[in-house]
Amino acid sequence: MASGPLPDRGAESSSRSSAARLDEAVFAARPADWIEKLFGTRQFFSLWVAQLVSATGDWLGLVATIALAARLSEGSEGAAIALVLASRVAPGFFLATAAGVLVDRLDRKRVMVACDLGRAAVLVSLPFVDTLLGLVAASFVLELLTMMWQPAKEAIVPNLVPKERLTSANALNVAAAYGMFPVAVGIAALLSKAAEAMADEGWVTNFRLNEEGLAFYVDALTFLVTAAIVARLAIPARPKEGRRVQHRGWDLGGAFRELREGWQLIAANPIVRSVNVGLATGIMGGGMLVPLGAIFVDEVIVGREADFHLVLFSLGTGMALGVACASALQNRINRSQVFAGALVGAGLALLAAASFDVLSLVAPATGLLGFMGGPVYVLGFTLLHENVSDDMRGRVFASLLVLVRLCLLVALALAPLVADLLDRVSQRWWDGYVSVLGAQVHVPGVRLTMWLAAVIIVAAGILSSWSLKTGGSPAVGGGGDGGGDSAGAPAGEGAGS
């Protein structure tokens, strides 16, 4: 390892802060067109378009993967689909933080381009996979590449967007990630019709131009387009001091030290810790609505399938309104306080929704849940962008993504089991009903489970609020100092890197 005089940290910090102020002055002085007014910068607009294309490919690929797993299942469709989906989730539990170390060490734009090209190559091969084991292996590789692409993307957002526009940027990211699902489903339907219309020729069979094959080819094309867009992004160069590889090389000990630094920041920095705990538990509680919502409508409201669709519509509409409000008020609110307050509000809304028996009350309460839950996600990511230094973002976002994924998996897998267990307890102890102020209240397991989820979310919000108060919180409309943690430098320093 090369030795030499240590850099002057004070001068370096002053230089980077000056660069950040200069960047902000340039952003303010330039005349803004509609793209810059909405997206902050043209570079972020290009990244957002890349996310639109990539998200469409992700959803399309997921639909095609599930269809291919069902075809290769040999009679056990549920088990085959579960195995393939597990192969998409498992890598994150063991390798996400290690991927974050690589993202912090390497040129992030090159990482994203390489991952997109790698995913395109895997997808082009998927039409020729004829075994479930091959599909599982390909899905595993796809997830490894995605695990590096996502933290790299999150890490460069503050370098492309003015600090005061980060909340809007994250709102747009949410729209890009989840808004393309219906588009992808529509494309999948069109490709299915196209496959049916093709003549049964030899070249059609040789190139596997069936329903899944066409979807995988189009998915691969989306990643090639994304790679081309990202390759043209003008991302500010990171200083050599910000890349640990310049100082530590690729020794295994250095990688473990950086891995430990990432987890230490999450544990020590009150804002980072609060966001991780709040987002993870919030998603765990909200995720329980997916497997339990239809059961709740059927057993408690005694409604029809259309009623469940109305509940989902209320949830989605509330989320869209909440995200829009957070974006519109981004520079007039204390983001850390609103984050914790919205988390508590989401828990109380879920508690109310689970307590009602009629659709006319459940639907508005679910809408309020979405209205509170949307800002939690957007403001949480904004707080991390503002309060984590550039050289740590890859590890922090990789850790957050795996934590969120774990909590979502726990919610989806355990919610039906917990509901069934609590239903047995309710039937045995109270015959399914309790008396409240003389009124008989139906308490099936699904309602008890949703109440439990609501209590978890409220507790997470209170814990986040307490953590932020004890560690300090950023000023209104500002980023703050990361609670005084030296590893979590203000965004102004990272933005100029």
Q: Averaged over 345-349, what is the pLDDT?
A: 93
pTM of this structure: 0.69
Q: How far apart are CA 178 and CA 119, in angstroms?
A: 20
- Name which of 145-154, 192-201, 262-271 the model is least confident about: 262-271
Q: How far apart are CA 103 and CA 147, in angstroms?
A: 10
Cβ distance 139 to 87 under 8 Å?
yes
pLDDT at 370 over 60: yes
Report the range out of 90-94, 198-202, 309-313, 438-442 with the highest average pLDDT: 309-313
Of residues 484 and 321, which shows the higher confidence score?
A: 321
pLDDT band of residue 377 (cuts 50, 70, 90) is confident
Of residues 464 and 403, which shows the higher confidence score?
A: 464
Tell me which amino acid residue 86 is. Answer: A
Nearest alpha-carbon partner for 210 in 220, 221, 219, 199 = 199
Of residues 89 and 70, which shows the higher confidence score?
A: 70
| Homologous superfamily in CATH for domain 17-236 | MFS general substrate transporter like domains (1.20.1250.20)
Of residues 346 and 28, which shows the higher confidence score?
A: 346
Q: What is the pLDDT of residue 26?
A: 46
Could you give phi then psi for residue 436, rounded to 5 degrees? -125, 110
Q: How far apart are CA 331 and CA 384, in angstroms?
A: 16
Q: Averaged over 479-483, what is the pLDDT?
A: 37
Q: Tens digits of per-residue pLDDT, 141-177?
A: 888 888 889 888 988 998 888 888 888 888 888 888 8
Tell me which amino acid residue 427 is. Answer: Q
Rg (Cα) of the chain, in Å, rounded? 24
Length of the chain (residues): 497
Cβ distance 296 to 349 under 8 Å?
no
Q: What is the pLDDT of residue 196?
A: 77
Q: Please report how the helices 445-471 and 270-287 are oriented relative to each other, as an axis angle in degrees rounded to 10.
A: 170
- Name which of 168-182, 189-203, 304-318 the model is least confident about: 189-203
Cβ distance 47 to 231 under 8 Å?
no
Q: How far apart are CA 311 and CA 304, in angstroms?
A: 11
Helices (H), 232-334: 245-248, 252-268, 270-287, 289-296, 305-328
Cβ distance 214 to 195 under 8 Å?
yes
Give SS3 for 479.
coil
**% pLDDT > 70, the chain:** 76
Q: What is the pLDDT of residue 186?
A: 86
Helix (H) or strand (E) holding 441: strand 439-442
Q: What is the pLDDT of residue 231?
A: 94
Q: What is the pLDDT of residue 490?
A: 32
Q: How far apart are CA 164 and CA 98, in angstroms?
A: 31
* DSSP notation for 349-414: HHHHHHH--SHHHHHHHHHHHHHHHHHHHHHHHHHHHHHS-GGGHHHHHHHHHHHHHHHHHHHHHH
Residue whose entry in the numeric block shows the structure tokens 């509170």:
372
HSE, side-chain direction, 13 A CA sphere, residue 276: 24
Give SS3 for 436.
strand
CB count within 10 Å of CB 437 equals 5
Longest distance between any two alpha carbons in the chain, whole Å = 80
For 313-322, b/e burial (b = at least 16 CB within 10 A) is: ebbeebbbeb
Q: How far apart are CA 156 and CA 385, in angstroms?
A: 9
Cβ distance 118 to 228 under 8 Å?
no
Of residues 188 and 124, which shows the higher confidence score?
A: 124
**Domain over 264-495 is classified CATH 1.20.1250.20:** yes
Residue whose entry in the numeric block shows the structure tokens 């084991």:
133
In a 10 Å sphere around its CB, with 0-12 CB exposed, 13-18 middle and 19+ buried, how is residue 253 labelled?
exposed
Q: Tens digits of per-residue pLDDT, 224-260?
A: 999 999 999 988 766 554 444 444 444 444 444 545 5
Q: How far apart are CA 186 and CA 349, in angstroms?
A: 33
**% pLDDT > 90, the chain:** 15
Q: How far apart are CA 423 and CA 181, in angstroms?
A: 34
Residue whose entry in the numeric block shows the structure tokens 């409220």:
458
Which residues belong to CATH 1.20.1250.20 in the chain?
17-236, 264-495
pLDDT at 83 over 70: yes
